[in-house]
Amino acid sequence: MSGRLYVIGTGPGNPAQTTPEALAAVADATEFFGYGPYLDRLTLRAGQIRHASDNREELDRAKAALQRAATGANVCVVSGGDPGVFAMAAAVCEAIDHGPEEWCAIDLVVVPGITAMLAVAARIGAPLGHDFCAISLSDNLKPWPIIEIRLRAVAEAGFVIALYNPISKARPWQLGAAFEILRAILPADTPVIFGRAAGRPDERMAVARLADAEASQADMATCVIIGSAETRVIARKGRADLVYTPRFIREDAK
Amino acid sequence: MSGRLYVIGTGPGNPAQTTPEALAAVADATEFFGYGPYLDRLTLRAGQIRHASDNREELDRAKAALQRAATGANVCVVSGGDPGVFAMAAAVCEAIDHGPEEWCAIDLVVVPGITAMLAVAARIGAPLGHDFCAISLSDNLKPWPIIEIRLRAVAEAGFVIALYNPISKARPWQLGAAFEILRAILPADTPVIFGRAAGRPDERMAVARLADAEASQADMATCVIIGSAETRVIARKGRADLVYTPRFIREDAK
């Protein structure tokens, strides 16, 4: 008799943004697999077991969790944000797809969470108020030329762009290269939002013009949102600027 | 002294997917503006006032809420899902942008929520596991030719596509036209997910091949997710199929 495998998202790190559904999954599981800092967000009982692993070992972590669930344990794989957005749910599905037949019998329950771009957008207004896309800027898992093609395609077609995994020590130049590509397509005044650790004590939100945006304004905890040509900034006396993308496009737009 | 204006998302309708942050906003507000069925999801105290309005009156609703907040009331504008995704946060920002100066002084707090595509994706596996986009198929607020351009751009560039507002009585043909456009670009076997009312008692999830997908499988409560050429289906004996998009793209992909 195989157990249940939860794949949960804790949201961006503010406990008030973790859903009751995710907390119920935590209460029901006895073993937890995840990147250490995400496991640190959980309050566990005595007897609940932590298996912390490095951020890069997603497929091995998924396999280890599936093996434990196959023996009958109720297991929880923990992502930050939403588990389905550049996170563990796809790694678990990949492991099932290429794993032993018995893993298909496991009761897999994916529990959604607030993903970073939604939390960042909420803190600054409504930059995702119209058509938008999410792109991982990591070229660990896909060739850089595909990322370039995608950036051009969505910028030319008028999407707002949320960039996940914008920069890391091992990937220092990609975000700057992305800005260069976008500067050739979008107006210089296009707002760029650097949303770091939204909702956490170390939150830092900044808005730059695309012409002035610098990769050094982002770190690994940052989600970068680049507006479309329609995106607007509202200056407010005594309050932070609001950034939003109108719900409508005029008939005379491109 | 102006009041506070919360713009909250309740999530897709399963109370276990509403965040504590959203519930705290509801507890703090005295007046509520929103589409009736979204207001019905709230448990209000005696003395908390409901202002229900039709789904199409977003800008008027935003203005009415801002007027009340400007007089000092703590007001809550209620969206389903996430308020920043094709919902009220952009309408409120538009109203502030074009409204009286005093509306800029209102303490605007946007509270994110689980948006439909995340809830649907979680119920079926991890279809949004790689780069993806969200497009509103409503041509009430933008010209149809722009929607066609965007669909072609993202399908050709390999994005998974989440379609919001896929169909309604007033917009019966747009989803079928979108499928026709995508059939000319994507493989016949590309999975199409019809995710209706995810997490609610009347939930209905279905997966079709793009070649066979029919607009009649969707209604107003459906979020449609169309895979990329990379998206895979895992058949499981005795369990529903899983649909996921791998985290990686091989070097030899287009």
A149 in contact with B, Cβ within 8 Å: yes
Residue A71 is which amino acid?
T
Which whole number is the average pLDDT over B194-204? 95
Q: Are A195 and A123 in contact (CB under 8 A)?
A: yes
DSSP A62-114: HHHHHHHHHTT--EEEEESB-TTSSSHHHHHHHHHHHS-GGGGGSEEEEE---
Contact B149 A134 (CB under 8 A): no
* A107 phi, psi to nearest 5 deg: -80, 95
Dihedral sign from CA coordinates of B184, B185, B189, B195: negative
Angle B46-B50-B56 from CA coordinates, rounded to 5°: 165
Q: Are B192 and B207 in contact (CB under 8 A)?
A: yes
Chain A residues near residue B86 by CB distance under 8 angstroms: 129-130, 247
Looking at residue B140, its pLDDT comes to 86
A169 in contact with B, Cβ within 8 Å: no
> What are the tens digits of pLDDT across the range A190-249?
999 999 999 999 999 999 999 999 999 999 999 999 999 999 999 999 999 999 999 988
The residue of chain B with its CA nearest to that of A14 is: B21
Please tell me the distance from the alpha carbon of residue A109 to that of residue A76, in angstroms, as a whole number.
9
Chain A residues near residue B150 by CB distance under 8 angstroms: 131, 157-159
- Paired with B157 in beta bridges are none
Residue A115 is which amino acid?
T
Please tell me the distance from the alpha carbon of residue B45 to that of residue A41, in angstroms, as a whole number.
32
Facing residue for B128 by CB, picked from A84, A107, A237: A84
DSSP B123-168: HHEETTSSSEEEEE---SSS-HHHHHHHHHHHHHTT-EEEEES--B
Which whole number is the average pLDDT over B138-162? 95
Contact A129 B86 (CB under 8 A): yes
Contact B239 A104 (CB under 8 A): yes
B142 in contact with A, Cβ within 8 Å: yes
Check whether A253 has a pLDDT greater than 60.
no
Check whether B59 has a pLDDT greater than 50.
yes
SS3 B20: helix
Check whether B49 has a pLDDT greater than 80.
yes
Looking at residue A139, its pLDDT comes to 83
> Given pLDDT bands bounded at 50, 70 and 90, which one contains residue B1?
confident
Check whether B192 has a pLDDT greater than 50.
yes
> What are the tens digits of pLDDT across the range A59-99?
999 999 999 999 999 999 999 999 999 999 999 999 999 99
Q: Are B79 and B8 in contact (CB under 8 A)?
A: yes
Q: Among candidates A13, A14, A56, which has minimal Cα distance to A35?
A: A56
> Assign residue A2 a region: left if phi > 0, alpha if psi is -120 to 50, beta otherwise?
beta
Return the axis-axis angle of helices B88-98 and B58-70, rounded to nearest 10°: 60
Contact A153 B149 (CB under 8 A): no
Chain B residues near residue A18 by CB distance under 8 angstroms: 19-20
> What are the tens digits of pLDDT across the range A95-130?
999 999 999 999 999 999 999 999 999 999 999 999
Please tell me the distance from the alpha carbon of residue A163 to that of residue A117, in angstroms, as a whole number.
8
Please give the mean pLDDT across all residues of chain B: 96
Contact A84 B150 (CB under 8 A): no
Reading the block at residue B119, the tokens are: 């809830």
Chain A residues near residue B238 by CB distance under 8 angstroms: 105
Beta strand A204-209 pairing with A191-196: antiparallel
Check whether A254 has a pLDDT greater than 50.
no
A1 in contact with B, Cβ within 8 Å: no
Q: Which of B1, B79, B94, B160 is the mutation pick for testing A, counting most A CBs within 10 A?
A: B94
Contact B232 A133 (CB under 8 A): no
Q: Are A107 and A101 in contact (CB under 8 A)?
A: no
Please tell me the distance from the alpha carbon of residue A236 to that of residue B103, in angstroms, as a whole number.
9
Q: So what's the ipTM on this one? A: 0.97
DSSP B178-238: HHHHHHTTS-TT-EEEEEESTTSTT-EEEEEETTT--GGG--TTEEEEE--TT-EEEEETT
* Residue ranges of A 65-84 with Cβ closer than 8 A to chain B: 82-84
Facing residue for B142 by CB, picked from A96, A105, A248: A248
* Residue ranges of A 15-34 with Cβ closer than 8 A to chain B: 15-21, 24
Please tell me the distance from the alpha carbon of residue B113 to that of residue A82, in angstroms, as a whole number.
11
The gap between the terminal CA atoms of chain A, to the nearest Å, is 58
Distances (CA, A) of B48 to A172, B11, B30, B45, B107: 52, 21, 5, 6, 20
Number of H helices, E strands in chain B: 7, 13
> Given pLDDT bands bounded at 50, 70 and 90, which one contains residue B141?
confident
Which domains occur in chain B, in start order?
4-114 (3.40.1010.10), 117-244 (3.30.950.10)
Q: Are B210 and B190 in contact (CB under 8 A)?
A: yes
Counting Cβ atoms within 10 Å, is residue B204 exposed (0-12), middle (13-18) or buried (19+)? middle
Per 3-state DSSP, chain A is made up of helix, strand and coil in percentages (nearest 5) of: 30, 30, 40
Chain B residues near residue A82 by CB distance under 8 angstroms: 118, 122
Q: Which residues of A230-244 are buried (b: 16+ CB within 10 A; e: fewer)?
A: bbbbbebeeeeebbb
Contact B24 A14 (CB under 8 A): no
Which whole number is the average pLDDT over B233-245? 96
Counting Cβ atoms within 10 Å, is residue A103 exposed (0-12), middle (13-18) or buried (19+)? buried
DSSP A6: E
Contact A234 B93 (CB under 8 A): yes
